[in-house]
């Protein structure tokens, strides 16, 4: 397992976590075995926005004894009183649901207390005026909630909450389909979405990724908006390469799904390479560097993807990225203008020109 640090707090979070949306299809016993298997493989981050109530007890039993090694993302607004998931902004219902979730999980604290699924401005108003946010903040004061988070599919609303400087983590849907405007939750164009990822990184807000496979649509040529399938490993790598991302949370259906997902760490780099995407979505993707490094090797030894990432982040106000850039052994001014990257880039980035702009920007 690999881990990334949560910028605000410093917790080491596994780059692969688990989503619970589909695991309810398995028996309680299998869910318990799957969570145990996840823990044995170093997974320590679990989102609890489940489609039904079933997983909570199984998680509670599997995690008992290793609670201090696990981070739960718990949603203030997910309600399970009928046995199935329901969305609510009623404060009393939220309180009852949180009590029930903590009881089932056999815990008395919440690592990440999430404002849940805010996609419309009216939802945000209800959370702010209906007492849910003050409730989360009160629990944070008491030490019951350790970090406040937000789940949303809407960049404009995430930006609005970022303006309030409340949250340490945002759960956001990132996949190539949504980024290039395909699918129900593909909100915001690619520039707006990339700007949000950069803002999160610049402000030290981590991103936990939901819908990395677009609900499975991207994995099948028949349902993929590009007419061609991507693999789970390509989608995971795509999400992990975006600025701000701390962890990706695939929604698994049981142990065999998890075993396959963990293959991400052992497959050849070619199997994670998603640069083929540039041929799927040339119009929307054109000219924007996605830091994939498909253009390597650069004969001058430049890490093209990283230089571009630090440049974009610095422009978004990330001082740390600026200092990382300055520490690079080979910077943009070392570009010899050979054109190799331009000829290799599937996203049609004019990288020679961009390297000149980057060099000028950093005063080289
Ligand atoms: S220039 Fe193209 S190939 Fe190179 S990192 Fe950027 S997007 Fe990827
Ligand atoms: S154009 Fe510059 S950055 Fe691109 S491969 Fe050549 S030397 Fe490297």
CATH code of the domain covering residue 184: 3.20.20.100
346 and 233 both lie in a single domain: no
> What pLDDT is attached to residue 298?
93
Spatial distance between the Cα atoms of 261 and 113, rounded to a whole number of angstroms: 26
Q: What is the CA radius of gyration of the chain?
A: 21
Q: For a substitution probing ligand 1, which of 293, 300, 302, 332 has the most ligand atoms within 8 Å of its CB?
A: 293
> What pLDDT is attached to residue 192?
87
pLDDT greater than 90 at residue 198: yes
Distance from the CA of 91 to the center of ligand 2, in angstroms? Answer: 56
pLDDT band of residue 24 (cuts 50, 70, 90) is confident
Q: Give Cα 169 to chain centroid, integer Å.
A: 9
Continuous segment of H or E residues that includes residue 46: strand 45-47
Q: Select from 245, 277, 309 the last residue of a domain.
A: 277
Q: Which domain holds residue 295?
A: 286-362
pLDDT band of residue 182 (cuts 50, 70, 90) is low
pLDDT greater than 70 at residue 286: no
298 and 262 both lie in a single domain: no
Residue 71 bridge partners (DSSP): 45
205 and 334 both lie in a single domain: no
H helices present in 64-175, as ranges = 91-104, 121-129, 132-141, 155-163
pLDDT greater than 70 at residue 284: no
192 and 44 both lie in a single domain: yes
Residue 36 tokens read as: 């145990």
Judge if the beta carbon of residue 182 lies within 6 A of ligand 1: no
pLDDT greater than 70 at residue 282: no
pLDDT greater than 90 at residue 105: yes
Judge if the beta carbon of residue 302 lies within 6 A of ligand 2: yes
Split into its structural domains, the chain has a count of: 2
> DSSP class of residue 18?
B
φ/ψ (deg, to 5) at 268: -65, 150
Q: Select from 246, 277, 308 the last residue of a domain.
A: 277
Spatial distance between the Cα atoms of 173 and 327, rounded to a whole number of angstroms: 32
Continuous segment of H or E residues that includes residue 37: helix 28-40
Calculate the average pLDDT of the chain.
90
133 and 238 both lie in a single domain: yes
Distance from the CA of 183 to the center of ligand 1, in angstroms? Answer: 25
> What pLDDT is attached to residue 278?
77
157 and 85 both lie in a single domain: yes
List the residue whose alpha carbon is closest to atom 6 of ligand 2: 338
Judge if the beta carbon of residue 78 lies within 6 A of ligand 2: no
Tell me the pTM. Answer: 0.80
189 and 227 both lie in a single domain: yes
- Residue (of 152, 158, 234, 240) closest to 192 by Cα position: 158
Spatial distance between the Cα atoms of 274 and 166, rounded to a whole number of angstroms: 34
Q: Select from 233, 249, 277 the last residue of a domain.
A: 277
Instruction: For the beta carbon of residue 292, count every other beta carbon within 10 angstroms.
Output: 21
16 and 60 both lie in a single domain: yes
Q: Counting every residue, how long is the chain?
A: 364
Please name which ligand lies nearest the alpha carbon of 302.
2
- Give the distance between the most distant pair of CA atoms in the chain: 64
pLDDT in tens, 310-357: 898 888 777 878 988 998 999 999 999 999 999 888 778 899 999 999
pLDDT band of residue 296 (cuts 50, 70, 90) is confident
221 and 350 both lie in a single domain: no
pLDDT greater than 60 at residue 116: yes
């Amino acid at each position: 397992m690999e881990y990334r640090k949560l910028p605000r707090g410093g917790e080491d979070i596994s780059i692969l976590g688990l989503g619970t949306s589909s695991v309810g299809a398995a028996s309680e016993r299998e869910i318990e075995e799957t969570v145990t298997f996840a823990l044995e493989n170093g997974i320590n981050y679990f989102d609890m926005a489940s489609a039904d109530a079933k997983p909570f007890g199984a998680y509670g039993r599997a995690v008992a004894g290793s609670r201090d090694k696990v981070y739960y993302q718990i949603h203030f607004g997910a309600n399970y009183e009928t046995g199935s998931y329901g969305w609510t902004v009623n404060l009393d219902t939220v309180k009852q649901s949180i009590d029930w979730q903590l009881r089932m999980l056999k815990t008395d604290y919440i690592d990440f207390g999430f404002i849940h699924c805010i996609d419309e401005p009216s939802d945000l108003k209800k959370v702010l005026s209906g007492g849910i946010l003050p409730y989360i903040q009160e629990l944070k004061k008491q030490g019951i909630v350790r970090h406040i988070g937000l789940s949303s599919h809407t960049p404009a609303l995430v930006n609005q909450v970022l303006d309030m400087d409340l949250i340490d983590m945002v759960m956001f849907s990132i996949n190539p389909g949504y980024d290039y405007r395909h699918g129900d939750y593909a909100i915001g164009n690619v520039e707006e979405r990339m700007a949000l990822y950069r803002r999160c990184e610049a402000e030290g807000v981590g991103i936990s990724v939901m819908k990395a496979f677009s609900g499975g649509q991207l994995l099948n040529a028949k349902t993929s908006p590009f007419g061609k399938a991507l693999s789970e490993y390509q989608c995971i790598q795509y999400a992990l390469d975006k600025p701000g991302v701390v962890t990706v949370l695939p929604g698994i259906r049981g142990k065999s799904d998890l075993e396959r997902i963990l293959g991400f760490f052992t497959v050849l780099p070619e199997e994670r390479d998603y640069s083929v995407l540039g041929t799927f979505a040339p119009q929307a993707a054109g000219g924007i560097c996605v830091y994939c490094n498909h253009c390597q090797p650069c004969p001058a030894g430049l890490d093209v993807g990283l230089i571009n990432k630090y440049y974009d982040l610095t422009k978004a106000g990330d001082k740390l990225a600026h200092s990382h850039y300055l520490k690079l052994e080979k910077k943009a001014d070392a570009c010899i203008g050979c054109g190799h990257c331009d000829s290799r880039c599937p996203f049609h980035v004019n990288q020679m020109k961009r390297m000149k702009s980057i060099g000028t920007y950093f005063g080289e």
